Each structure stands twice: as structure tokens, then as C-alpha cells.
Structure 1
């Protein structure tokens, strides 16, 4: 992960824990003449008449195809158009606050009023609480049509500015698509990236690829993504870990979606997976803010110690030893590193 823009630690960590808690008090549900109603997963939902209905129920692969059809660029242009975490986070937050925020344990009165208008087949608070996953999916899909045009417009403006090379902390196209596929989780993911970068600078004083500080940053990043999703959105432990895996693995890919088989990718993928394994063991019962999971200090201290004592591999001679840990230097191992949620390790590696 490349250097990201620094943010205030106190503000950043508070934001991660309270993502999207603010609302526009003046926002009222209104039915526009262009609205229409359709059936989705057995519920009646309201959508704008021009809303692309194919966005509902898409797999990540289908959404990738949808986005790639809108963002076809020449190979030499791709890196200069990639957004940073700060840029995509600003777009997410601009639009997510316009819609109800739901979780398994709570729906505000203001949000309930909006939900009853937008999903008329839901009749009461009890009904809404029993259908939180559906409500979340509905608004998470509706907001995509607000977010995607802003993302495309900013990418286009960066191309027009003829920026040379990718910006520090920029997303790959596959990674961007993962975040856009679930904007609520995506905002938490991007904030976790900023938090991990800032904390790395505070704790290590440097942010250099391959070294111990980078092992710490990747481990911390994965843990904060999982913790943030579980505390701030409807999600099971598996869903949170899966999103962390999908996004951070896509971060290592080329813009065309192909895998990078480099020493740096092997190191990052191993450290990402180790952190996910640890979080799988540490996260226990409960929902939302009441879920039993490690706090920030425990995460930071655990992975600082493991990064500081991480196993060293020489980039020029024996880095493939990282692959041997996972089965050998072959395509199966690379596929496992990119695609598996879990592995058999909970330690860090670094290179020089």
C-alpha cells in the first residue's frame, strides 16, 4: 500500500466508529412524478424512473462488467485516472448521508419514516427491524447511482489534467469496483486505509514499502476494516472478513484485473491474510457496537509486536519462501493468496 494522505488520528478513529451517524435533518422523503415501484426480493420498492435496475442483485463480477463498460480507458491513461482513498471517501460520505442508516439494533424515527415511504411493503418498526439486511441492500444499491457519476466525473477530470502516474494511495480499478459494489462498506474500508497510514507514521516514523512498518500497516488495515464494518453496518463476521479480503487483494492487482506475482504482492497478501485469521479468532458474539471484538489498542499493540518480530526474506534471493508457507511457488498458491479468506498463519513477514 502506497503512502496515503495523513489525517488527524483522533478525528479519523472517531469517524470510523461513528460512520454516517450524521443526517441532514431537513431531508424529507418525497415521491417525485418520475418515481416508480418495482418488486425486489419479495418487497415493493420505490426507485427513480431512470434508475438502472440491473444494479439490483448484481454479483461483484456483474458489477465489475457494468463499471468496466463505463470506464474503458487507454492503457497509458489508467494510472493517472485512479482516485485516492480520500477522494473516493469524500464522494461516499457526500451521498451516504442522504439515506437512512440501519443496523440490527436500531432504526431512528426519522429513518423509519423514510423507509415506510420508499419500501411500502414494510409497515412498522418491528417489520423494518426484521428486514434490516434487505433495507441495507436497497439503500446501498440506490446510492450507487448517485456515487458512480461523481466517481466517473472525477476520473475524467484527472485525465484532463494530464496527471503523470498514479497518485499516492490510489486505488486500482478492481479495488475501486469492490468499494463501489458496497458503498457503505467501501467508505469504512477507505477510512481504515487512512487510519492505518496515519497510525503507521505515528508508531514507526516512516512509511516504506516492504519493511516492518509496511507489514504493520497492512495487518492493521485489514483489522480496522473488519472491526469498522462489524461496528458500523449490518454484517456477519464472514461478510466483514470477505469484504476486507476482496478489497485488499484487489489492491494488489493490475488495473486490468490480472494478478501481480511480485515479491511485494506476496508479502502484502500474506500479512493481509494473517490479520484476517487473527480477527476471525478474536471476533465473538454480539451485534453492532455490542459485538465482542478487539479494541483499537489491542489490535495496534498485537500487530506492532508481530511486525517488529516479523520473519525476514531477502527480496533478491529467497522471497519465494513466503509462497512456500502457503504451498509453493505455483499458480495455485497465488490464487489462494488472492482469493482465500483464511490461511494457516498469524505472523508477519517483511523484505529488504
Structure 2
């Protein structure tokens, strides 16, 4: 960059790197109230000027770190790679919980009570998406390859994240495959699947690397039809997907005649639906919850076959609420 600038001007200049740590959906608040500011500079004078520029934003006492440019840039990569690692870690533990009959919610509660571990970014689900974590993890892997310093841990983080989508889709595939055994129906072929949530996380319309798109593509590959609802990501999804799906105007209309509901994004409006109405709208009361929004006992009570992440699947029980008549 410096060489390119020098080729375009004779005026003196100084280089600096100021990595941002802005979350999608909360960028303005994160800028106005940063938990830290990182400044990479070539000389003390540039560091002082940038420090003065940011002082009004850290009046609450949060730190401003001034360092060399290479270190400042690495802070950004390291921070995102660490958060991605936490997500892949809890998802790998969730897989072990499913294999051994443990409950990831209980495991997480006990583990995260250790103050050395904390509880941030340790929620099981469909894995990370968006533009930052995938890009920065892969960038670290590439940097390692370029310098013959293999990043085995981060390669595993990426692989676990990609496999998480496979593991979740396998639950859908196996459920309908088992149901179709010995019948004329063929697994997911011809099934109508409702999808709640398209954005990679709530609070944004960003669908880049969103797990929802991977799952929808695989449903379509199996011959299913998909009806989806997202509060804000419909247009972004339509641009990204090159295959036709239906988009519902609201979350309840999305369920009409569905053989299953797949939850891909933990929007607040999905957390407390009228479960009686949900079941009545669906052709089959089957939910695949990729964000662990509901208690398994509640889903049994309301008559759902319910799959989640890191917990045993549950089925309706005799005499449950709302099923008489």
C-alpha cells in the first residue's frame, strides 16, 4: 500500500492500521462505545494523533492500544479466529453429548460457570457464518501455508464448522428416510419444508456463508419444496440463491402444510410462538431446531417430534396437551 501511495504523490505521509471490531447489527453502538481501540502505527507522532482522535469515545476508561502495524492487523485475525474456535468447540462437544445422551445445555451451564472459560460465543448451533469469521479463519490458514507454519487448530475449526451443517442436515434426511422405509414415499422427495430464518444471525440481513442457504440447497437437491421466512433477509436470500423457493409474508403462514419446520436463525420472534397454532398449521408436527430455542419437555408436551443440537431427540407422548379430539 505504501509503495502505491508513493507512486501517486510526492507529499509526505504516514501509514497506520486501525482494525475495527464492529458486530453486524450493532455497528454504530460498537463504534461509539468500543471495548478497546487498537492502533498500528509506524511512528510515535501518528500514534499520538490517532490516540487523541479516539479519546472522546473511551471516556468510560476502555483502553487504547498503540502498537506496530503488523501486530495491530494480527489482533483482528486472532480475535475473530478465537471466537470462531469457541463456536466450533462447543459444537464438537454438542456432538459428543448427542452420542452419549448428555444435554449440552447442562454441560454448557456447568462448564461456563468457570470464570476462566466464561460464557460468550459458547452456544451450540449450526456453526458460524457471515463475512468475518469464515474469511479470517481461512486467511490465517492461508498465512500459515504461505510461511510453512501450519495452522492445524484453525484448519480443524473450519472443518468442524462445515461438518456441523452436514450433521444437522443428516438428522432431517434420516428422519424422513426412516419414515419412508417400506412405503411408497421416498424420503424428502415431494416434502414441503418450512424454514424460519435466513440471515446468518439475528439483527442483520446478511446471508453470506449462512447455514440456512446450505440446508436449503440440500433440501432442494433431495426433491423437497421450501417455504422460508426471515424478518429482513428475504431480498438478500433471493439474490444469493439461484434456485426457486417460496417466501412467506409472516412466520405462521410459512408453516401451512409443512412436513417439518427447520429453524436456522434465532430471531427473537421465533422464541415464543403459539405452539398449538404452529402444530395446527403443519401437516406433520416435526421441528428441527438448529438454535436450541425451545425446551425439549415443552415440545413433547405440545405434541412435536423435536430435534435440536447436543440434546436427544424427543417424540410426542400419549395424552399431551391439545391432542385430544
So what's the TM-score if we normalise by structure 2? 0.27
Which of the two has greater strand per residue? 2
Which of the two has greater helix per residue? 1
Question: Which has more radius of gyration?
Answer: 2
